[in-house]
Amino acid sequence: MADFSSRLLRWYDVNGRKDLPWQHPRTPYRVWLSEIMLQQTQVVTVVSYFERFVAALPTLPALAAVPLDDVLALWSGLGYYSRARNLHRSAQICVAGHNGDLPRDFAALVALPGIGRSTAGAILAQAFGLRFPILDGNVKRVLTRVHGIAGWPGSRDVEDQLWKCAEVYTPGERVADYTQAIMDLGATVCTRARPRCDACPVQNACVAFRDVATAELPTRKPARLLPLKTTVMMLLRDPRGRLLLERRAPAGIWAGLWSLPEASDEASARSMIASAHGERADRAWRALPMFSHGFTHFRLDVTPIEFSIESNAIAEADDRRWLFPAEAAALGLPAPVRRLIAQLT
């Protein structure tokens, strides 16, 4: 479609979002942070996390200078914590090798941890006004529908077609506004369920609209049964009501976050407690309602058990602390563990 970008820009001038916190000021650091937060999370959730994050760490060197624990605490609740670890690592690389700022160069940007082709494009377009396309989830949805492209957008050949469209449509002028415009169109008009085609600036060129195929496009990811894992989380309460928290290993799920001690099943949890704290601790326990948490590659069923122990025989260490539930909330905790601990307060 020859005038795709000009139609979108005219629509953006009237309907686009121009008051997002990362647009004022639109510095490379703020654009980068917002793009990373928006990778798996919707704008409405990201705004308050973004504001809290930049209030605490207003610049890239400030981010690079704090311990990872501080970054994880600010990220706590947003999920997909590898994003926070990559952000921190990338900031340190930029301080060491790019004068404390993000590079203005595509190859150097995609070399940073956590920055892929689309995020690099979004940073170059929005922060530097350079003509680079983006292809996030919203843009993929718009382009598959406009062109009637069938097939799961995560597959290589469909993604290649979509990148070609994205490259053609990205204009040389007002590239930052265009980038925001196509993201906004996907988020507010060309939504996954019930798109508002009547309000769409590209409706008369849209194949999905013409063919009444918006419900089928984009094609869903082929279904796959996720494997199930189980664990028992132990809420160990000492006589003062404090909880034992442990920092998780630097790799694996919830890497580097603070969490509860775990056992493979209820019997091993009880025997671990009995051997560390005596038979009476084993008797003073309470099972809490089980819950499930979904990860990308598996589902985790968690059985929480609360134990009251008479002495905290387990000593504190760098990676192990006894804390009151309200104190624990200040740490970087996985969201389900945060919810579980909140139930105790």
Residues carrying an active site annotation:
35
User: Could you tell me the smallest distance in angstroms from the CB atom of residue 289 to ligand SF4?
Assistant: 41
Out of 102, 190, 244, 257, point to the residue binding ligand SF4 (CB under 6 A): 190
Task: Identify which of residues 208 and 333 has a Cβ nearer to ligand SF4 in the complex.
Answer: 208
Out of 31, 54, 60, 189, point to the residue binding ligand SF4 (CB under 6 A): 189
Site mask, ligand SF4, residues 3-42, x = CB under 6 A? ----------------------------------------
Task: Identify which of residues 42 and 99 has a Cβ nearer to ligand SF4 in the complex.
Answer: 42
| 134 in contact with ligand SF4 (CB under 6 A) | no
User: Could you tell me the smallest distance in angstroms from the CB atom of residue 170 to ligand SF4?
Assistant: 17
Pairing label, strands 299-308, 228-237: parallel
User: Could you tell me the smallest distance in angstroms from the CB atom of residue 223 to ligand SF4?
Assistant: 24
The token duo for 142 is 């718009």
Site mask, ligand SF4, residues 144-183, x = CB under 6 A? -xx-------------------------------------
| 114 in contact with ligand SF4 (CB under 6 A) | no
Pairing label, strands 299-308, 285-287: antiparallel
User: Could you tell me the smallest distance in angstroms from the CB atom of residue 12 to ligand SF4?
Assistant: 14
**Site stretch for ligand SF4 (CB under 6 A), options 18-26, 126-134, 140-148, 273-281:** 140-148
Q: How far apart are CA 325 and CA 321, in angstroms?
A: 12
Secondary structure of the chain in HEC code, one letter for each residue:
CCCHHHHHHHHHHHHCCCCCHHHCCCCHHHHHHHHHHHCCCCHHHHHHHHHHHHHHCCCHHHHHHCCHHHHHHHHCCCCCCHHHHHHHHHHHHHHHHCCCCCCCCHHHHHCCCCCCHHHHHHHHHHHHCCCCCCCCHHHHHHHHHHHCCCCCCCCHHHHHHHHHHHHHHCCCCCHHHHHHHHHHHHHHHCCCCCCCHHHCCCHHHCHHHHCCCCCCCCCCCCCCCCCEEEEEEEEEECCCCCEEEEECCCCCCCCCCEECCEECCHHHHHHHHHHHHCHHHHHCEEECCCEEEECCCCEEEEEEEEEECCCCCCCCECCEEEECHHHHCCCCCCHHHHHHHHCCC
**Site stretch for ligand SF4 (CB under 6 A), options 8-16, 95-103, 129-137, 139-147:** 139-147
| 142 in contact with ligand SF4 (CB under 6 A) | yes
> Following CA atoms 80, 86, 91, 93 in sequence, which dihedral angle do they give, to the nearest 10 degrees?
180
User: Could you tell me the smallest distance in angstroms from the CB atom of residue 201 to ligand SF4?
Assistant: 8
**Site stretch for ligand SF4 (CB under 6 A), options 12-20, 142-150, 168-176, 337-345:** 142-150
Pairing label, strands 243-247, 285-287: unpaired
Task: Identify which of residues 127 and 208 has a Cβ nearer to ligand SF4 in the complex.
Answer: 208
Looking only at residues 197 through 236 of this chain, which bind ligand SF4 when binding is defined by CB under 6 A? 197, 200, 202-203, 206, 208-209, 214
The token duo for 262 is 């775990």
Site mask, ligand SF4, residues 70-109, x = CB under 6 A? ----------------------------------------
Task: Identify which of residues 23 and 203 has a Cβ nearer to ligand SF4 in the complex.
Answer: 203
Binding site residues, ligand SF4, CB under 6 A: 142, 145-146, 189-190, 195, 197, 200, 202-203, 206, 208-209, 214
